[in-house]
Structure 1
Amino acid sequence: MLRRTSERGAHDFALTTPSRQRAQHVCVGGIGVEIPQPSISNEELVETFNLWVDRENAARAVRGEPPLARSDADFIVNASGIRRRHVYEREGILDPERMAPNIPARADEELSVMAEFGLKAARKALAHAGADAGDVDLVICAASHHQRPYPALAVEIQQALGAGGAAFDMGLGCSSAVAALHVAANLVRAGAHRKVLVVTPELITGHLNFRDRQTHFIFGDASVAMLVEALDEGESRPGRFEIVDTRGWTQFSNNIRTNFGFLSRLSQDDPSFLEMEGNMIKQVGNKVFKEVTVAGHQFIVDFLAEHGHTPNTMRRFWLHQANARMNAMILKLAFGKDVGQDRAPTVLERLGNTAAAGAVIALHENHEDMHEGDFGLLCAFGAGYSIGGALLRMM
C-alpha cells in the first residue's frame, strides 16, 4: 500500500504494508456532524420567492402567459414539517435578483469548498472514535451532489487529513451515506480494510433552484462523517454501534431528477454557455411521496424480518429527513399506529432536508439514552429510487 507522506500538492510516497484479516464484527466507531451557522426561516425564503414571482408575473402578463403561484410559509410546514434550514452561505439566496448562494471560486491549489466542509465532519468523527487519521486506510466521499468529477473529493479529503490507503467518491442521491456505510461495512468485514471513513458533505443549496415552488423550501446544508472499524474477537465498544447488517435497494424513476452534467451544455446553441433552467433539482412531489412511502415501508419490514426482527423490536428509527408526513406514514404502516418522536426522532423542522446527511444527524443527536443490546435502524430514501438501511445494535 502507498501512503502519502508529503504536504498538499507534493508527490512523495512511502510503501506501507498493513496486516489484514477477515473481521467478523464491524462497528460505527465515531460520528461527526458539521452544521453551518447561517440559517433561513420559511418566512424569509417565501418573502424573496414571492417578490420574484410578482416581478415575473408582471412580465408574463405582458406576454399573455399564465401567472406563477406564490409560496406560503404555513403551506411549507404543513407539506413538509420544515420551518427553517441552515445553509453554507446565506448571501445571495435572499436576493430576488440572484436567488442562489454566493460562493466564490477557489484556485486549484486551494482546498475545495466541499472537501473543506467534509473535513470538518471527518475530524469530529475521528475525535469521537479516538482514532488517528493515519490509521484510516480508506476514505469514501458519498453525497447526493459532488463539486466535480475529478480529482475525487475523497482523495482531496484523504490528503488533507493525512490518511493512508485509498479513496473514492460515490453517490446514490439521498441514500448516499447509508449506501457508503453498506460498502464500508462489507469491505471491513471482508478484511480488505480496517478503518473506513465515510464522509458526506451535503452542500445541496448550491444545486437548488430557489425559483421552483415545488423544491425551493426543501433543502438545507450539512456535513456528516462516520468511521467504520473492525472489532477484534471479543472486543466491545460501549456506547458505539455494532453494524449487524446493511442492505440496499434501487428502482429507476424520473420523479426526482437533475440533468446537470457535462453533456448538458452540448444541447445549447453556444456550448460555452449552460442554461441552468431545467438542469437543477426537480421532482414530482406527490408521486415521490406515494411511491417512496410504499417502498420504504416494505423495505423496512422485509429487511428486519431477515434478522428475526419486527418494527416493534427496534428501540429507535433514524429515517431520512425529507418529509415529516412521509416518515410518519411509513412508520404507521409498519406499526399499525402513530409513532412519536422518541421512537423515530426528526431534525428536519430546524434543518430542512439535508439530503444524505439527515438520517446520520438524527442518529448522532438521538442515541445516548439507548442501552446495551438495543437495536435501531438507520434508513434513507433517495432519488433513483434508492433505499439504504443499516441494522445497528448498541454495544
Structure 2
Amino acid sequence: MSASSTSSPRYSRILGTGSFLPPQRLSNAELSERLARDGIETSDEWIVERTGIRARHFAAPEVTSSDLALPAARAALESAGITAEDIDLIIVATSTPDMVFPSTAALLQRKLGVAGCAAFDVQAVCSGFVYALTVADAMIKSGAASKALVVGAEVFSRILDFKDRTTCVLFGDGAGAVVLGASETPGILASELHADGRHVDILCVPGQVAGGAVTGHPFLKMDGQGVFKLAVSVLEKVARSVLEKAGKTDADIDWLIPHQANIRIMQGTAKKLRMSLDKLIVTVDEHGNTSAASIPLALDAAVRSGKIQRGQTVLLEGVGGGFTWGAVLLDF
C-alpha cells in the first residue's frame, strides 16, 4: 500500500487570533464637528439610525497598513503559542497597501524579523479576509504550508472623501489576524468565494498612479442602496451553500460574524438564516467598517471576551467591492 493511501487527511484550524486599533477614537459627535467646519452637516443620530456606527478609529498620517498589521500579527502569534519563525506563509488582505509594491505582506514579514516564507497580498476589498483565509486553508490542505499568518489590515481613512457624508462616516482603520495551522481534525469545514465584475461601479476607488501623479478619482465612491440590496441577497445564498457543503443547518451555527459594514445588513442576514440576534457578533458600532480587517477584528474581540469558545461552530461572511463575496464555516 502506498504511503499516500495510508496518510491521514490534512485539515487546517485557527490556532490563535489577534487585533489592533489605532489609538485615535473618533465618535460620531467628534466627526460631525470636524465635518461641520467644512460645511458638511451630519449628526450622531443620523449615523446611528442608518448604520449602527457610533465610533471609529483613524490612524495617524504616518501609520501604514503594515504598521497596524504588526501588533495584530504579534497578538495572534502569542495566542497561538508560536513565534514568527514558525510561520511558513503570510497573506495580508488589504485595499490600502503601504505602496504600489512590494506587497504589504512582504513589508510585514520584514517587520516581524523573518525571511524565506511565501508572502503576498489578497485584494478583494471587504471580502478580503474570507478570500485570504480560504487560500491559506487550501495551501495548508495541499501541504504547501503548515502554519499561516492571515491578516486583514486597512487605513481606509486615506481614501475617504470628507465632503461626502454618505461614505466618510462609515469607515475606520484597524487590523485583525489569525494563525492557521495544519491539523488532523477539521477546523475549516467549508468555504466558498464569488465575484461579479458587472457591479464594479457600485463600490470602487477608480483612481490610479500614472506619470508620477494620481489620475482619476482617488476617493471611495459607493451606491449605498445598490450595495445593500446585493449584499443581503448574496450573503444568504453563500451561507446556505457552505452549510450544505459541510452537512450542517442554520441551527448548527453558534456564532455569525458577518463583515461589519452596516447593522441593517448584518441583522438582515441573521434573520434570513433564522438566527437569534444574540448569536450575531457586532463590533461595527465601535469600529465602523474596517473593510478586510472587520471580520478578524470582530473574531478576536469575541474570542477575547469569552463569547466564542473552542468547539463552537462559527460562520464568517464577507461582501465588498468587485463585487466580491464569500463565506467560511469553521469549527473553532
Q: 2:50 aligns with which of 51, 54, 79?
A: 79
User: How many residue pairs are counted as aligned between the two chains?
Assistant: 321
> What does residue range 166-245 of structure 1 map to in structure 2 within 5 Å?
166-231=118-183, 233=184, 242-245=187-190
- Whole-Å Cα distance in 2 between the matches of residues 131 and 35 of structure 1? 22
Secondary structure of the structure 1 residue equivalent to 2:37: helix
Contact (CA 8 Å) 2:236, 2:269: kept in 1 or not?
Answer: yes
Q: CA deviation at 1:339?
A: 2.9
Paired position in structure 2 for 1:313: 252
Q: 2:195 aligns with which of 243, 250, 265?
A: 250
Contact (CA 8 Å) 2:208, 2:215: kept in 1 or not?
Answer: no
Paired position in structure 2 for 1:131: 82
Larger Cα Rg: Structure 1 or Structure 2? 1
Q: Deviations over 1:331-373 (max 9, x none)?
A: 21221xx732x30120111111111111222222224344554
More helix by share: 2
Secondary structure of the structure 1 residue equivalent to 2:168: coil
Tell me which amino acid in the other structure corresponds to 2:322. Answer: G
* TM-score, normalised via structure 2 length: 0.90
Q: 2:208 aligns with which of 261, 279, 282?
A: 261
Tell me which amino acid in the other structure corresponds to 1:356. Answer: A
Paired position in structure 2 for 1:287: 226
Contact (CA 8 Å) 2:159, 2:218: kept in 1 or not?
Answer: no
Contact (CA 8 Å) 2:311, 2:331: kept in 1 or not?
Answer: yes
- Whole-Å Cα distance in 2 between the matches of residues 153 and 310 of structure 1? 37
Compared CA separation, residues 117 and 40, structure 1 to 2 (3 A): same
Does 2:98 align with 1:147? yes
Secondary structure of the structure 2 residue equivalent to 1:214: helix
Tell me which amino acid in the other structure corresponds to 1:262. Answer: V
Q: CA deviation at 1:23?
A: 5.6
Contact (CA 8 Å) 1:141, 1:200: kept in 2 or not?
Answer: yes
Structure 1 stretches of 5 or more lacking a match? 1-20, 55-69, 90-102, 105-111, 235-240, 264-270
Tell me which amino acid in the other structure corresponds to 2:52. Answer: G
Tell me which amino acid in the other structure corresponds to 1:247. Answer: E
Contact (CA 8 Å) 2:58, 2:172: kept in 1 or not?
Answer: yes
Contact (CA 8 Å) 1:143, 1:200: kept in 2 or not?
Answer: yes
Q: Deviations over 1:98-151 (max 9, x none)?
A: xxxxx24xxxxxxx7322221111111111101111111111121122121212
Q: 1:363 aligns with which of 265, 277, 299?
A: 299
Q: Deviations over 1:307-345 (max 9, x none)?
A: 22222210110111000011111221221xx732x3012
Secondary structure of the structure 1 residue equivalent to 2:38: helix
* TM-score, normalised via structure 1 length: 0.77
Contact (CA 8 Å) 1:23, 1:191: kept in 2 or not?
Answer: no
Structure 2 stretches of 5 or more lacking a match? 1-6
Does 2:276 align with 1:339? yes
Q: CA deviation at 1:48?
A: 2.2
- Whole-Å Cα distance in 1 between the matches of residues 65 and 312 of structure 2? 35
Contact (CA 8 Å) 1:87, 1:220: kept in 2 or not?
Answer: yes
- Whole-Å Cα distance in 1 between the matches of residues 307 and 50 of structure 2? 31
Paired position in structure 1 for 2:3: none
Contact (CA 8 Å) 1:380, 1:387: kept in 2 or not?
Answer: yes
Contact (CA 8 Å) 1:34, 1:121: kept in 2 or not?
Answer: yes
Contact (CA 8 Å) 1:172, 1:386: kept in 2 or not?
Answer: yes
Compared CA separation, residues 169 and 370, structure 1 to 2 (3 A): closer
Compared CA separation, residues 272 and 393, structure 1 to 2 (3 A): closer
Q: Which has the higher contact order (CA 8 A, sep 6+)?
A: 2
Q: CA deviation at 1:272?
A: 5.0
Paired position in structure 2 for 1:25: 11
